[in-house]
Amino acid sequence: MGSEMMRQYYDTEWGMPVRDERGLFERLSLEGFQSGLSWATILAKRENFRRAFADFEPDVVAAFDESDVERLVQDAGIIRHRGKITATIGNARATVALRAEGGLPEVIWSHRPEATPVPRSMAEVPSRSPESDALAARLRAAGFRFVGPTTMFALMEAVGIVDTHVVGSHRRGSSGVWS
């Protein structure tokens, strides 16, 4: 995987179940910022993102205003993309609003497929699925942005909803979600 940072992430965190609102909001936000960039770039800035976005506490981020947007656009420690910054704030507001419908964890995890992919090589690892298409549509309907089907499939992989570790990998099945 290259760097020690990436190896550590993939060996200990990626693909492990995340079921709490804050954790899922953080992952959803970071996946949105990653769009068009490398995951290594986002992971290297993760602590800066946590600091800049109040540790991804949805209620706090939902209260951000235009002065916060201006502060974040000037923060060299994060990706200074105004659209992604405002989307993250809007997604925090949408996360808070989703509580009336069971909450972000319920919405995301309700898109778990009946079976997980069984890739035998990296070439067989999918980049989207009918479930990620449906999740993207559901979240967009709830007001979320930067939540396309490919981004949502990456989220589903990262939080253990699907297991795309290659068959034979020491990590295959390690989430406990899939046997």
SS3 157: helix
Please say if 39 is a catalytic residue: yes
Catalytic residue among 21, 26, 31, 131: 31
Burial of 48 (0-12, 13-18, 19+ CB in 10 A): middle
Q: Which of 58, 22, 1, 38 shows the shortest CA–CA distance to 154?
A: 38
Please say if 109 is a catalytic residue: no
Q: How far apart are CA 85 and CA 2, in angstroms?
A: 28
> b/e string for 60-72 if b means 16 or more Cβ within 10 A?
ebbebeeebeeeb
Catalytic residue annotation:
9, 31, 39
